[in-house]
Amino acid sequence: GAGVSQSPRYKVAKRGQDVALRCDPISGHVSLFWYQQALGQGPEFLTYFQNEAQLDKSGLPSDRFFAERPEGSVSTLKIQRTQQEDSAVYLCASSAQRGATYEQYFGPGTRLTVT
C-alpha cells in the first residue's frame, strides 16, 4: 500500500512569502504529526492531529505557522511571511493508533529553503 506522501519535495521561497506544505497520510490513520528537522538535528515536534482535531500545537514556533486537517485525512502546514530561520525539512508522520506511543510512519519530507 501507499505510504505517507508529501508535496512539494523541495520548495524555495523568498523571505516574506507564504508557503503551504501538503501531507497525505496512510489511508485510515487517525493520528498525524508534523515535525521540523534542521540540518544535522533530530526532528522536532510541531503539532498533532487526531482525525480532524488539532490536539496539540505547542511545538509551532510562532503564530506564522498554521496547520489544518479539515476532513481528517490530508493535512496542510502553512507558513506565513517566511523567514530564513524557517529553512528546514518538514516531516509528516501518521499512525494507526491514537497518540504518539505507537509506531509512526514518516513521509520523505519537504525541504524548505528561504532566501
Q: How far is the CB of 1 from another protein (least distance, A)?
A: 15
**Nearer to another protein (CB atom), residue 21 or residue 89:** 89
Whether omega for the bond prior to residue 8 falls within 30 degrees of 0, making it cis, is yes
Count residues binding another protein (CB under 8 A): 27
Distances (CA, A) of 30 to 15, 65, 66, 81, 85: 34, 22, 19, 30, 31
Write out the DSSP string of 49-86.
EETTEEEE-TT--STTEEEE-TTSS-EEEEESS--GGG
- Of 48, 67, 69, 114, which lies in the binding site for another protein, with binding defined by CB under 8 A? 48
**Nearer to another protein (CB atom), residue 12 or residue 38:** 38
- Of 67, 77, 88, 91, which lies in the binding site for another protein, with binding defined by CB under 8 A? 91
Residues that bind another protein (CB under 8 A): 3, 33, 40-45, 48, 55-56, 58-59, 89, 91, 93, 99-109
